Structure 1
Amino acid sequence: MAFEPPPRLVRALGETPRDTATDDWLRRLPELAQEAVARRDLTVERVQVPGGRSSLVVLVRTREGTPAVLKLVPPRSRPDSERAALGHWGGLGAARLLDGADASGDGAFLVERLQRDVSVRSLPEAKSMLEAAGTLRRLWVPPPAGHRFETVAERTGRQAGAMADCPDPDAEPLVAAALAAREELLASVPEGAEALLHGTFRQSKVLAGERMPWLAVGPDPVVGECAFDLARLVRDRVEDLIASPSGAAVTRRRVKRLAEALEVDQERLRGWTLFRAVESGVRALRVGRGQDAELLLEFAGWL
């Protein structure tokens, strides 16, 4: 079977800064997929299309006939980190890792198959937020001793450096506010707030399963305070928020309700929501996704 990368994956990788490792991975992807399938003695059903923006997703069956998903992740997306997080969660709140946590470092790993066409986003807005928040809470566990996960300070430090070179002068006040919020938040992290976080959590990352109703997929794990993880969920369905005449008020209520429901500080959640929205908006500007950038920066202005 041919393992050609879906166009969505190729476009998404093309929006990131070019590096030889990613180019080589994309060029060799069909070969890498064949090797990963053979190494695990899998039967291939099909490549998931449109698939993800940062990995090749292949629907397979194990030698015992169990449905599973084989993921192949480029080196820059930290596949070993994702594998380690899934192994640490042990299927609680997230798809279960079927490879060992210390499996071959080939950038591929096998996970429990969920219903990829049924995400929590398919529910009515209030219900989807409730279910997503409940799933996220289960993921917030202490990181393993001696972990090598990236920290919130490290990740946002890299992002802050890129934000400072914003291509739109009109966005500079928001960028300055977001960078100031980050500095203030990192200078006052509550004691004992460190947890293993999903890192890129949103409603579309929560899929229906058989073992549990809803389970998270596709983490980009990071260690830090829970408000950072929750911040991305605040802006879910941002296009609907922007289209609503009461979008700003709904956003502020959402911050308040999510903070109360998950017992995080409301102002810290607001600050991380601002930083993450502006960071995403500036990144969208940089790669030419002007409409996305406009939505994100308008949303950030409400905070």
Structure 2
Amino acid sequence: MGRADGGGPAPVAVVVPQSFRDMPRWWREGTGWLEALPRLVRAYCDRWQLAVTGGMAHGSNAAVVPVVRAGEFLVLRLTPPGAAVAAQVEALRFWDGRGTVRLIDADVEGGVMLLERLAMDASLEGLPVAEAMPLLGRMMRRLAVPAPEHVPRTVDVVAARMPALPGEWERCGRPFPESTLVRAFEAGERLSRTESRLAVNGDLHSGQVLRGEREPWLTVDPVLMRGDIAYDLARILWTRIDEMDDEGDILRHFRSMADAAGVDRDHGRDWVVFRAVDYWLWGLTAGLTEDPQRCRRLLAPLARR
């Protein structure tokens, strides 16, 4: 592979962790890509003059390898090629380091990105939930700059999902009271209209925000949308709800995040109700067990009239 840092210890061998091989993504597809990963890393290190400096980390779909080039600490992110890679590259180029990890180079067709190095083991998941919620609210506002016209709109997501909810509710055995479904529909009607043209990260939660140097916290894997920045309030809450003791706790964290984001609380409540109902039904349809219960807990204090 060669030494891209001009000396020092030999590059670290690339090993695909068993925990990555065991991810559900690969149960039916992608094993060929997994087997090729070490060769891909070596090829892109040669192409971009990099040396591997540590072991491979991963999420459910992507591998991340720490590398160095001329003393600059970076990471390679590799995932099977597809439309999602192109969308993420576009998102990172759009925000260009504003609240997000900075993109250094990319090969969209290869599914590979070269990114600035963040603290790979230090996300907002490591902070107490009371500290993380306002930080995420401020991150929502930090990313809220005028968005491109062609990216998906939050209002379109709502409009597309509303007609499907009653049928899914019936097929899932009416898992929550009809009054909750009605509440979600009323919220959806209001959320189907917005004049906002601001950029929205459609996949924001504690695990996607890592400690950085240019800014204290930076977002990774953003999904660029246009419209209402309150779109992901529910996801931010349900991913940390196991750390919230009771309904009063849930409400306090919701309010602290909405206030930090500059979002009207009633409007934010609409988003939490609609997205939690939507995700609850999707989770049941997908065979999930824990996330529907998290949505149940989230809705208990926030879906009341």
The TM-score, its normalising length taken from structure 2, stands at 0.79
Question: May I ask how many residue pairs the two structures share in their alignment?
Answer: 287
Distance in 2, matches of 1:142 and 1:205, equals 22
Consecutive unaligned residues of structure 2, counting only runs of 5 or more, are 1-12
Does residue 279 in structure 1 map to residue 278 in structure 2?
yes
Q: CA deviation at 1:82?
A: 1.2
Deviation readout 1:228-253 (Å, 9 max, x if unpaired) = 03332233421122xx2xx2222233
Does residue 96 in structure 1 map to residue 102 in structure 2?
yes
Q: CA deviation at 1:35?
A: 3.7
The corresponding residue for 1:249 is 248
Does residue 43 in structure 1 map to residue 51 in structure 2?
yes
Deviation readout 1:61-113 (Å, 9 max, x if unpaired) = 23x2311111123345611111111112121211111116xx55322111111
- Structure 1 stretch 39-48 or stretch 152-161: which is displaced more? 152-161
The corresponding residue for 2:261 is 262
Deviation readout 1:175-231 (Å, 9 max, x if unpaired) = 834751463134332x2x122112111122221112221111121222221110333
Q: From the CA coordinates, give the structure whose radius of gyration is larger.
A: 2
Does residue 212 in structure 1 map to residue 246 in structure 2?
no
The corresponding residue for 1:201 is 204
The corresponding residue for 1:150 is 152
Distance in 1, matches of 2:231 and 2:253, equals 15
For 1:125, the aligned partner's letter is V
Q: Rate the CA distance shift 1:240–1:129 in 2: closer, same or farther, 3 A.
A: same
The corresponding residue for 1:52 is 59
Contact 2:66 2:76 in 1 (8 A): yes
Distance in 2, matches of 1:91 and 1:214, equals 11
Question: Which of 19, 35, 38 in structure 2 is aligned with 1:7?
Answer: 19
Contact 2:136 2:257 in 1 (8 A): no
Contact 1:57 1:70 in 2 (8 A): yes
Does residue 126 in structure 1 map to residue 125 in structure 2?
no
Q: Rate the CA distance shift 1:179–1:207 in 2: closer, same or farther, 3 A.
A: same
For 1:91, the aligned partner's letter is G
Distance in 1, matches of 2:121 and 2:100, equals 16
Question: Which of 64, 87, 111 in structure 2 is aligned with 1:107?
Answer: 111
Equivalences for residues 26-41 of structure 1 within 5 A: 29-41=37-49
Q: CA deviation at 1:29?
A: 4.5
Q: SS in structure 1 opposite 2:74? A: strand
Distance in 2, matches of 1:259 and 1:70, equals 34
Q: CA deviation at 1:287?
A: 3.7
The corresponding residue for 2:299 is 300
Distance in 2, matches of 1:198 and 1:160, equals 21
- Structure 1 stretch 4-13 or stretch 71-80: which is displaced more? 4-13
Distance in 2, matches of 1:9 and 1:287, equals 21
RMSD value over aligned CA atoms? 3.1
The corresponding residue for 1:290 is 289
Q: SS in structure 2 opposite 1:117? A: coil
Does residue 168 in structure 1 map to residue 172 in structure 2?
yes
Q: SS in structure 2 opposite 1:98? A: strand
Q: Rate the CA distance shift 1:298–1:133 in 2: closer, same or farther, 3 A.
A: closer
Question: Which of 239, 243, 263 in structure 2 is aligned with 1:240?
Answer: 243
Q: CA deviation at 1:297?
A: 2.6
- Structure 1 stretch 82-91 or stretch 231-240: which is displaced more? 231-240
The ranges of structure 1 where at least 4 consecutive aligned residues each deviate by more than 6 angstroms after the TM superposition are: none
Contact 1:137 1:262 in 2 (8 A): yes
Distance in 1, matches of 2:43 and 2:98, equals 30
Q: Rate the CA distance shift 1:116–1:280 in 2: closer, same or farther, 3 A.
A: farther
The corresponding residue for 2:3 is none
Contact 2:74 2:117 in 1 (8 A): yes
Distance in 2, matches of 1:83 and 1:284, equals 28
Does residue 231 in structure 1 map to residue 234 in structure 2?
yes
Q: Rate the CA distance shift 1:292–1:99 in 2: closer, same or farther, 3 A.
A: same
Q: CA deviation at 1:257?
A: 3.2
For 1:255, the aligned partner's letter is F
The corresponding residue for 1:80 is 86
